[in-house]
Amino acid sequence: MSLSKLSHLKQKLASLADYNHYSRVHPLKSFPTNCFVKRDDELGFGISGSKLRKYLSLIPFLENCKIQEAVLIGGAYSNNVLGLTQLLIERSIKPTLFLLGNGTSKKIGNYLLTSLFVPSSSIHWVARENWSQVEILATKYITQKDTIIIPEGALISEALPGAITLPLDVIRNEENLGSSFNHIFIEAGSGLTAIATILTFAWLEKETCVHVLLLADEQATFISKLKIFQKHFEQLVSQNLAWKHIEMRFQLHVPTTAKSFGSVNKTILHEIKHIAKTEGFLTDPIYSAKLFMEARKIIKKQRLKGNSLIVHSGGSLTLMGFQSQLTDF
C-alpha cells in the first residue's frame, strides 16, 4: 500500500464536519475463523453509520454554498431521508421531502420518526408510476437559488469525500489490530460507500478484495455508477486511476433470498434473531441482515483465506417497522 498516497488523501479530507467517524472492529463468534465486524452501527442512534460518513462532506458543502433548503428524494422509510433531515434542521436548512408513494404509507419505522421532524406540508408524494420523473418534478418545485436537490441515498459527488472515511478508518483498524483484512464485505443500496471503498483501495494499491452485495441495482448499473464516481475521485486526488487497477479489487454479489429490494422473508427474520443471540448486536432486514447472511455463505463457498471484515452500516431503527413480524416469528 502506498503510504505517500494515504497521506495525500488524508490531507484532501481535512475540511470534513466534526461528526464522530471512527468505529471499532471485533471478532465474530458464529462465523468462520478470522472473521470480524466493523461497528459503524455504533456511530449514531438516529443516523446510520454509513450515512453519517456521507454527511461529513455533504453538510459543509451545503453550508459553504449558503443553502437554505434541501429537497431530499427517497422512500418513506429511507435511512438517508431520516438521517439527513436531522442534520439539516440542526444546521437551520429546511428539509423538503419528495417521497415515493401516495401519502397512505403507515406511520411506522423510519417514516414515523421522519414525520416527527418534517410537517406534512413539506412532504410531496410521488406515485410509483411517476417515480422515474421524480428529479424533474423536484426541479420544477425549486424557485430559489439557495435550494438544492439531493438524490436518493445522497448519491452525489459532494458526499464522496465523506464516504472515503470508511476505507481510511478500516486502515486505522488494521494498524490497531496489527493485521490486514484480505476481504471486506459491504452492502450497496445507492452504492456510494462501496464505490468509495473500491476506489480508495485501488488508488492506494491496497490488495484487499471488496465484496459488494447489490441490494438495489443490477451489476451493470453499479459498474456505471462506479465509473462515474471514478472521475470524481480522480478530480479529488488530482491523479488518474486506471480501470484495470479498479476491476481487480472487487466482486459483486446478489442475495440468494428475498432478492427484491426491500423484500423480507422468514429466513431474513431468523438471521436477525440468530445474530442478536449469538453476537449481541441488532441488524436490519433490508440491508445488514442480508449482508451478514450472504457474507457467511460466500466465505464458506469460496473458501476465503486470511481475515474477513463485514461492515455493519447501521440502520437498526428500521426494525421498528417490523415489530409484528419479529413478534410472530
For 73, residues 6+ apart whose C-beta sits below 8 A from its C-beta are: 98, 134, 135, 138, 149, 150, 151, 152
Read off the pLDDT of residues 30-63 as tens digits, 9 standing for 90 and up: 998 899 999 999 998 889 888 899 999 999 999 9
Task: Kindly report the pTM of this predicted structure.
Answer: 0.93
255: left (phi > 0), else alpha (psi -120 to 50), else beta? beta
**Distance from the first to the final alpha carbon of the chain:** 47
The CA distance from 223 to 296, in Å, is: 24
pLDDT tens per residue across span 178-198:
999 999 999 999 999 999 999
- Cβ atoms 55, 326 nearer than 8 A: no
SS3 73: strand
Which pLDDT band, with edges at 50, 70 and 90, does 317 fall under?
confident
Q: What does pLDDT average to over the chain?
A: 93
Least confident stretch, 141-145, 170-174, 257-261: 257-261
Could you tell me the pLDDT band of residue 2, with boundaries at 50, 70 and 90?
confident
- What pLDDT, in 10s, does the model give residues 116-125? 999 999 999 9
Domains and their CATH numbers in the chain: 3-48+159-328 (3.40.50.1100), 52-155 (3.40.50.1100)
pLDDT above 70 coverage of the chain, percent: 99
Closest CA to 226 of 133, 158, 155, 296: 155
| Residue 272: band (very low, low, confident or very high) from pLDDT cuts 50, 70, 90 | very high
Count the helices and strands in the chain (H runs, E runs).
Answer: 13, 10
Beta strand residue intervals within the chain, DSSP E: 25-27, 35-39, 69-75, 94-100, 123-126, 147-150, 183-188, 209-214, 250-253, 308-312
pLDDT band of 329, cuts 50, 70, 90 = low
> Does the structure show a pLDDT above 90 at 253?
yes
Q: Residue holding cell 416527527?
A: 116
Q: What is the pLDDT of residues 59-88, one digit of tens each?
A: 999 999 999 999 999 999 999 999 999 999
Instruction: Specify the pLDDT at position 155.
Output: 94
For position 276, what pLDDT does the model report? 93
C-alpha cell at 302: 469460496
What pLDDT is stored for residue 267 in this prediction?
92
326 pLDDT more than 80? no
